[in-house]
Amino acid sequence: MSIEELTAQLPAPKPLSLRECALFLDLDGTLAPIAARPQDVRPDRRRTDLLERLAEVTGGRLAVVTGRTLADVDRILEGRVIAVAAVHGLVRRDSRGAVDATSQHPKLREAAEAFRAFAARDSGLLVEDKGLSIALHFRLARQHADAARVCARRLAAETGLTLQDGDMVEELRTPGPTKADSVRAFMAEPPFHGSCPMFLGDDTTDEDGFTAARELGGAGILVGAPRATGAKYRLAGVEAALAWLEAAL
């Protein structure tokens, strides 16, 4: 039996008890459908209202943990979520609103210029500058996927930046805290401390979040198609994830 077949057999999570858990939610592919371009994801009233209600009912035990920048999260979620780990954990805003950010790696600008030079070959190649990381998107130019991966790995080796593989994207990030580190940091603070962490995510970038949740007594929930994962449960996609969260209210 293949890994995909085994993952397809993962059960859906049990009904959510908001009195006991802390929610850690990825954004793209989990709360919002994947878009062709990052800027195409926009605010959505259903999603915004849901997150606002979840934060209220849990007493603030809700955090968005994403590769997006903090400014982008606030744009998409209309500023309704206070606790956010952005840029894969390099920026973290706690439940009081205090922000802590890693210092930019000195080679990041060099990598950004190299990605821009690579992207010049096709208008479908997009470079996203997140301040502490630089991402090369090839969803609209998949014929360049292999070359993009080779380019990113070469740059990682030359610069010492951390390579972050994603869904149709290669990202070079300043070394530092991860999504797992963010989950652990939130769980050590009020109002998260003492609760059961549940991490929802779709991408391989969420796997360390799944691991942290499991180690802290909770579980990871894979959102989307079957693949190799450390998650304990699976939901079919964004709609299923939103419906599962809504059912808890």
Q: Would residue 26 show up in a list of annotated catalytic residues for this protein?
A: yes
Tokens of 39: 């800027």
Phi, psi of 29 (to 5 degrees): 85, -5
Report the helix count and the strand count for the chain, using DSSP H and E. Answer: 8, 12
Tokens of 149: 């991966």
The single residue of 26, 74, 94, 208 carrying the catalytic annotation is 26
Helices 45-57 and 238-247 cross at an angle (nearest 10°) of 40
Contact at 8 Å (CB) between 66 and 28?
Answer: yes
Any idea which residue has 């180690």 for tokens? 215
Contact 238, 30 (CB under 8 A): yes
Q: Residues with Cβ < 8 Å from 49, sequence gap 6 or more?
A: none
Catalytic positions, please?
26
